Structure 1
Amino acid sequence: MDTPNVKTAAHEAGNSAIVERGARLGYAVSGLLHLLIAYIALKVAWTSGGGSADQSGALATLASSSGGPFILWVTVVGFALLAVWQLTEAITGAHGAELGDRVKALGKLVAYAALTWTALKFATGSSTSSGDQTKDFTTSLMGHTGGRLLVGALGVGVAAVGGYHIYKGWKAKFLEDLTEHPGQWAVRAGRAGYVAKGVALIVVGGLFVVAAVRKAPSEATGLDGGLRTLREAPAGTILLTLVAVGLAAFGVYCGARARYARV
């Protein structure tokens, strides 16, 4: 199959109504998960419990709610079609022909594919822990030659993504992802949301670096571990509360993105 045919097929798939509506659905369910993660993070900040403040904790909350199984399957479909759309973007470069845009699309493809798999596990009654998956992945990576260096580099990369999120939120660069201005309420929510996600990702990346330096894969605990690390910092309750509010704001912004996203 030659490259022009592959690009043509990808372009047609990316422009199909099913993929477009599915991608918008994916942004909507992403917003719902961020709202649930924010809720759990607030419980972690102010009580001794709270559950897992990450995607698996949010999905577990959905699974135990009324109508949860149906919503979980909707989540699977939304994330799967978002992954498909990112694949078409990586192939065609429809909204950015530069290599960097395609690399970002590939990164998002991997992220949404992982979310699809996690949501599918919950939808089929086989729950999984994002934190355990992160630890297992780090342990496996460290078992290879140069594994510690790779884990450290991964941590730096995650922290760099977090820094970019802060920049994107502060400068409101996320508006470039939309077809039109979503309103000031969405801009404020997007700014707060991207900054909060950036802070959380920087902490998560830092934990990977610590795991590499200490030769301790258990230190790489994902988003839940990152948020709990914030809780243990000086004025941690306030810090985690601010991040939780920001994550909730990002969930609200995702609602606007579901409508105005450049798909």
Structure 2
Amino acid sequence: MFETLRKTLTGLTAAAALTAIAAPAAMAQEKSLLDDILARGKLIVGTGSTNAPWHFKDESGNLVGFDIDIAKMIAMGLFKDPNKIEFVEQSSDARIPNVTTGKVDITCQFMTVTAERAQQVAVTIPYYREGVGLLMKAGGKYKSYDDLKKAGSGAVISVLQNVYAEDMVHAALPDAKVDQYESVDLMYQALSSGQADAAATDQSSVKWFIVQQPGQYIDAGYAWGPQSYSCAVKRGDQQWLNFVNTVLHEAMTGVDFATYAGSFKKWFGVELPQPAIGFPVEYK
């Protein structure tokens, strides 16, 4: 009897000790940057300022662009006020370090998702799918991607100079002549002057040029080389990541779709179809 009682008390003591150890750990897991941001009263976002239509400054010196709108949607979700936000302007190579060191709460800066980056930061669900597109002059010799492909080596494509530029263009137009330029401006000048029949550039840039200069340019109608753009947060904080993912998901598919669609139309000139009502299409 006494032996049984001793074992019971010993078991209870061990259980109590485990509970005492586990309690602080559970409390630590519940602590989230989300709580700190709400208490602080503003969201701190890392982004750029020189790449339209993603992040750039308008005539009044204010940051604008699609990345800026995405950040404001997150601030709206936090505070019901899209302006409760502090932007930290950063270079592309600071996107991950500023998150990991806590300088910013989140980076929203046209960051391509890769497995390597996902080892360093937690990436959110994608809010845009980028790709390579072909910008053409309206009224030019060729009218579409099919025309360019049929032209074979007769088609000249301008592209920003880099080690994989020729392979990138030939993935879509195997026989086209590829002219590489040292800057984006020179690449577009070649198109405008007629030295090139199309410019191979980001699909978002193709759409932006058409929005900015209506009637002067057209989209060839073909894109390739898909890559996802996501925001980045510090690893290990599932509550904060879940919150941001919820905001982005409902912006693209749910209650805040009108805001997302309005921004998409403004920067890319595309009218998005309303998400289907009924069974959530993303789970099909």
TM-score in terms of structure 2 length: 0.23
Higher normalized helix content (fraction of residues)? 1
Larger radius of gyration: 2
TM-score in terms of structure 1 length: 0.24
Point out which structure has higher relative CO (alpha carbons under 8 A, 6+ apart). 1
Higher normalized strand content (fraction of residues)? 2
